[in-house]
Chains A and B, each alone.
Chain A
Amino acid sequence: MADSTNGSSRSFRVIGTRPIRHDGIEKVTGQAKYGADYAFPGMLYGKVLRSPHAHARIKAIRTEQAAALPGVQAIITGADFPDIPGTTAMMGELIVNTHYLSLNVMARGKVLYDGHAVAAVAATSPHIAEEALRLIEVDYEPLPPVMTAAAAMKPDAPILLPEIRSKFIAGRTDPGSPEGPDQPTNVAAHIQFQRGDLAAGFREADYVVEREFRTATVHQGYIEPHNAVALYNSDGHATIYCSTQGTFNVRTFTATLLKMAEGDIRVVPAEIGGGFGGKTTVYLEPLAVLLARKSGRPVKMTMNRAEVLRASGPTSGTWIKAKMGAARDGKITAAQFWMAYEAGAFPGSPFAPGAMCCTGPYNIPNLLIDSYDVLVNRPKVAAYRAPGSPSSAFACESLLDELALRCGIDPLEMRILNGAHEGTPQPAGPPYKRIGFIETCAAMKNSAHYRSRLEGSNRGRGVAAGFWFNGGLQSSAAVNLHPDGTLSVVTGSVDIGGSRAAMAMVAAEVLGVAAEDVRPIVADTDSIGHTDVTGGSRITLATGMAVYEAAEDVVRQLKQRAAKLWEKKPEEIEFSNGRLSAIDNGVKPLTLKEIATRLARTGGPISGRATLNAGAVGAVGNAFAVTCVDVEVDPDTGKVKILRCTVAQDVGRAIHPAYVEGQMQGGTAQGIGWALNEEYVYDEHGILRNTGFLDYRMPTCLDLPMIETIVVEVPNPGHPLGVRGVGEVSIVSPMAAVANAIYRAVGVRMTELPMPPPRLLKAMLQDQPRTEELHPVAAD
């Protein structure tokens, strides 16, 4: 270790290498246990009865016939859940209201979306449980559904939750109108960011573009459906095995919803088959505990794919009106965004982060952003990779592309010209610390991809940028030294994509051992200090920082032991590259392995610990990405083929570069799916019509080329290793990059996501006139 700075000149032994992940063998041999893989003697199978209506009053539920079916052991309905007062709590990146969380896991009074849970059954086989569901009778009084933000904001719209009142007029859809009186509304919340003089800014502009955008509801699309296995003992203690991004969240929420003590619930992290934000809340866990309590037997619950799509996740569909002006030289003079985010049936869309990220990459002197949280009869949204940012970025980056064309400026040059840097105010106000947006744009501009020439008809190249602020939150870590000199690292951060390897590498770096000498463990909620969700790109950043500090705690203790052995003061001992020595060189140095054998004689075992709140200590580092994509549009069908795709991202410091690249590639692939195909399709009754992977069309292997990555490292000054967090920002820019590429390929400006063949073909056949001359992107 050279020093305590995180400057880019620092050299590392382990960080930046690509060791094989510690949990890899189990995952390539089928031994790794995911939530649905747990089984216990006498275990029952739980299934959920879900609403066939988008909006209806529940008049009666009769379960007698179902209860009489042989094999049925327990049935629960809304009547089994206690009433939970409305308190709000932070859930990773989103704020959750526990009253509505309770109503979401099991409906009471009204069902608010197709798929809303109304009852659950536990039986001796999954087939019997499914038969029992068909025997439960529910009387519904259907109510008119409200399916889009535009419909929900109309003055005469049916109201989902009568207790929600807003000082804003429901139906306020024109930017800048005055506040209205207090009345029932589907608009649950509003946020506004404002700076400068908007009117003056637009007057200064030589070019002004104004467009309306729509983005569809999309799902996180993790391959593993939600699951939970619950055991309940007669002493009131419950154990839950589940695939979640946040075991401590599951504990808190399950305890709150069932009025249990948190200490009476232990949550054991199973391996998790993808989450992307969608597994930061609870759906099945409280139901499984209730069924286990009622039946006295272990209960396993798993969703099928249709349930996942109908009742978990997704992220918001949006409706955005945006306007941006620039001077002839390319300087943006003003921008205005009016955005409505569909929350689903309960408040809590990412309308605020969407506004915080919208123009995040740019320094815009005159700015007004309004963002609304709007209730619709769709499933309550959950976090999805950089929640809120992709939709607002689609609008911002599309307008920027048009302005670049009008000004005749290279689109990356346009972004660099207006780019945010240290000291630039964020949309929400506070200035950025050291960030790497300009470096990221420059890296893309110098890339082999961007410098290459794209030839052929119906082909185009598009670029776009994205911003995500990244999370901090709380983490705990312990580092234990074993008698043979190897170590274990224990954290509470569920490993969703290789973070165990990063944790081990951080400890190995500090302690001067090989990554393979450190075994990383993800512990249950009774075995490690509180740790917030695996989300917000925060694990390598925040939990990694806790591991770093816990490893330094081990170093401190090692120095004390050496001092004791050598009869010196701890400050006279040096630790470097895994060796202890005296500053005066008066003794024979000891390796970590050598001193590990002498722990019993020098004071007992060594275990280092650290807990922290990374946000509170200023460790969070903001992330930027730039996507460049080449497309070819089939003029007969409107099908878009991705020819080449490159993503550049400022990661601060890449701990394990292969998994950093993997995050960048994965986010890009999800973004391409969002751009081209993925969308919830509801019929006129508010029933979801595409409840399987055949019709909810995610990218397959055949749809994508190799995804090239450019890892930019501008160290985060707030973090001991310079880490920024890498998980999310790569999903922000692909949608606009693809839309911009389509425009440059066929001259059609797409303002609605997704852009599947029928929609693009229709736009092409409408023969939009080109309003400006096209400029080649990579003129060389």
Chain B
Amino acid sequence: MDKKTVVETTINGEQIEFLCEPRQSLLEVLRDELGMTGSKEGCLTGDCGACTVIIDGRATCSCLMLGVEAQGHKIETIEGLANGAQLHPLQQKFLENASLQCGICTPGILMSAKALLDHNPTPSEAEIRYALAGNLCRCTGYDKIVRGVLDAAKAVASKAA
């Protein structure tokens, strides 16, 4: 086992330092070292997207990134999506549209959708499907997820207007 390394990051706006082994993935660090279990492990091979977080504005599978690689980067996770008690429009619209069944893919899908809306506040259905193609959901057939994102985009747009 190699020695642990100190890693300095910003997670959900908060400066956080953690110690991790070189072989630990960012997902493992978030879940097992920092107790942030909202990011889920579905495959550990970057195929399911349940572990999606946003690194410097870009949706990323945290299982494919080492914890030590997070040095100096800004990380957003599902735990920081709501603004305190105020849900993000994506969260609110997912609830209203019944966009989740078992809920295991939901954190990753919300983070991929947030990364999309941050860059493209008025996505088409095709753009949403493209942005979420790396997030597997086995329960819903994606119908209500896509509707949830479309609705959230509308809510964001009407708030901005």
* Contact present for A658 and B110 (CB under 8 Å): no
* Contact present for B101 and A662 (CB under 8 Å): yes
Q: Which A residue sits closest to B102, measured CB to CB? A: A274
Expressed in whole angstroms, the Cα–Cα distance for A272 and B105 within the complex equals 11
Question: Which A residues lie within 8 Å of B135 (CB)?
Answer: 701
Q: Which A residue sits closest to B36, measured CB to CB? A: A30
Contact with B along A10-32 (1 / 0, CB 8 A): 00000000101101110111111
* Contact present for B102 and A273 (CB under 8 Å): yes
* Contact present for B141 and A707 (CB under 8 Å): yes
* Contact present for B139 and A497 (CB under 8 Å): yes
Q: Which A residue sits closest to B145, measured CB to CB? A: A701
* Contact present for A28 and B110 (CB under 8 Å): yes
* Contact present for B43 and A692 (CB under 8 Å): yes
Q: Does A621 contact B (CB under 8 A)?
A: no
Stretch in A34-42, A156-164, A375-383, A628-636 touching the partner: A34-42
* Contact present for B87 and A37 (CB under 8 Å): no
Contact with A along B7-23 (1 / 0, CB 8 A): 00000000000000101
* Contact present for B42 and A29 (CB under 8 Å): no
Expressed in whole angstroms, the Cα–Cα distance for A658 and B97 within the complex equals 8
Expressed in whole angstroms, the Cα–Cα distance for A220 and B139 within the complex equals 10
The residue in B43, B79, B145 that gathers the most chain A C-beta atoms within 10 A of its C-beta is: B43
Q: Does A556 contact B (CB under 8 A)?
A: no
* Contact present for A665 and B141 (CB under 8 Å): yes
Question: Which B residues lie within 8 Å of A656 (CB)?
Answer: 98
Expressed in whole angstroms, the Cα–Cα distance for A21 and B102 within the complex equals 12
Q: Which B residue sits closest to A670, measured CB to CB? A: B138
Q: Does A191 contact B (CB under 8 A)?
A: no
Q: How far is the CB of B45 from chain A (nearest CB, A)?
A: 5
* Contact present for B47 and A707 (CB under 8 Å): no
User: How many residues does chain A have at the interface if contact means C-beta atoms less than 8 Å apart?
Assistant: 60
Q: Does A302 contact B (CB under 8 A)?
A: yes
* Contact present for A30 and B42 (CB under 8 Å): no
Known: A28-B95, A700-B136, A702-B133. A225 touches B41 (CB 8 A): yes
Question: Which B residues lie within 8 Å of A670 (CB)?
Answer: 138
Question: Which B residues lie within 8 Å of A498 (CB)?
Answer: 98, 101
Interface positions of B from 84 to 133, Cβ below 8 Å from A: 87, 91, 94-98, 100-107, 110, 128-130, 132-133
* Contact present for B38 and A30 (CB under 8 Å): yes
Known: A273-B103, A498-B98. A665 touches B143 (CB 8 A): yes
Q: How far is the CB of A22 from chain B (nearest CB, A)?
A: 11
Q: Does A201 contact B (CB under 8 A)?
A: no
Interface positions of A from 681 to 713, Cβ below 8 Å from B: 692-694, 698-702, 704, 706-707
Q: Does A304 contact B (CB under 8 A)?
A: yes
Q: Does B81 contact A (CB under 8 A)?
A: yes
* Contact present for B104 and A273 (CB under 8 Å): yes
Q: Which A residue sits closest to B96, measured CB to CB? A: A20
Contact with A along B63-89 (1 / 0, CB 8 A): 000000000000001110110000100
Expressed in whole angstroms, the Cα–Cα distance for A568 and B39 within the complex equals 58
* Contact present for A27 and B133 (CB under 8 Å): no
Question: Which B residues lie within 8 Å of A701 (CB)?
Answer: 128-130, 132-133, 135, 137, 142, 145-146
Q: Does A211 contact B (CB under 8 A)?
A: no
Known: A28-B87, A665-B144. A698 touches B101 (CB 8 A): no
* Contact present for B102 and A497 (CB under 8 Å): yes
* Contact present for A224 and B104 (CB under 8 Å): yes
* Contact present for B103 and A27 (CB under 8 Å): yes
Expressed in whole angstroms, the Cα–Cα distance for A666 and B128 within the complex equals 19
Known: A20-B95, A698-B136. A662 touches B45 (CB 8 A): no
Q: Does B50 contact A (CB under 8 A)?
A: yes
Q: Does A241 contact B (CB under 8 A)?
A: no
Q: Which B residue sits closest to A498, measured CB to CB? A: B101
Known: A223-B136, A274-B139. A693 touches B47 (CB 8 A): yes
Question: Which A residues lie within 8 Å of B136 (CB)?
Answer: 223, 693, 698, 700
Q: Does A659 contact B (CB under 8 A)?
A: yes
Question: Which A residues lie within 8 Å of B139 (CB)?
Answer: 274, 497, 662, 666
Expressed in whole angstroms, the Cα–Cα distance for A36 and B126 within the complex equals 34
Expressed in whole angstroms, the Cα–Cα distance for A661 and B110 within the complex equals 21
Q: How far is the CB of B132 from chain A (nearest CB, A)?
A: 4
Q: How far is the CB of A674 from chain B (nearest CB, A)?
A: 12
Q: Does B48 contact A (CB under 8 A)?
A: yes
Expressed in whole angstroms, the Cα–Cα distance for A704 and B125 within the complex equals 12
Expressed in whole angstroms, the Cα–Cα distance for A31 and B81 within the complex equals 12
Q: How far is the CB of A666 from chain B (nearest CB, A)?
A: 5
* Contact present for A27 and B37 (CB under 8 Å): no
Question: Which B residues lie within 8 Å of A20 (CB)?
Answer: 95-96
* Contact present for B48 and A27 (CB under 8 Å): no
Question: Which A residues lie within 8 Å of B156 (CB)?
Answer: none
Q: Does A305 contact B (CB under 8 A)?
A: yes
Question: Which A residues lie within 8 Å of B141 (CB)?
Answer: 665-666, 668-669, 699, 704, 707
* Contact present for B138 and A221 (CB under 8 Å): yes
* Contact present for A659 and B39 (CB under 8 Å): no
Q: Does A451 contact B (CB under 8 A)?
A: no
* Contact present for A224 and B45 (CB under 8 Å): no
* Contact present for B102 and A224 (CB under 8 Å): yes
Q: How far is the CB of B59 from chain A (nearest CB, A)?
A: 14
Q: How far is the CB of A488 from chain B (nearest CB, A)?
A: 21
* Contact present for B39 and A30 (CB under 8 Å): yes
Q: Does A762 contact B (CB under 8 A)?
A: no
Q: Does B155 contact A (CB under 8 A)?
A: no
Expressed in whole angstroms, the Cα–Cα distance for A706 and B142 within the complex equals 8
* Contact present for B95 and A24 (CB under 8 Å): yes
Q: How far is the CB of B111 from chain A (nearest CB, A)?
A: 10
Q: Does B44 contact A (CB under 8 A)?
A: yes
Interface positions of A from 624 to 647, Cβ below 8 Å from B: none
User: 16 additional contacts, CB 8 Å, given A28-B94, A273-B40, A692-B47?
Assistant: A28-B87, A28-B95, A30-B81, A31-B38, A36-B40, A36-B41, A128-B1, A271-B103, A272-B102, A273-B102, A665-B141, A669-B140, A669-B141, A693-B48, A700-B134, A704-B141
Nearest 9 pairs of A and B residues by beta carbon: A30-B38, A273-B104, A669-B141, A27-B103, A693-B47, A497-B101, A30-B78, A658-B98, A665-B141
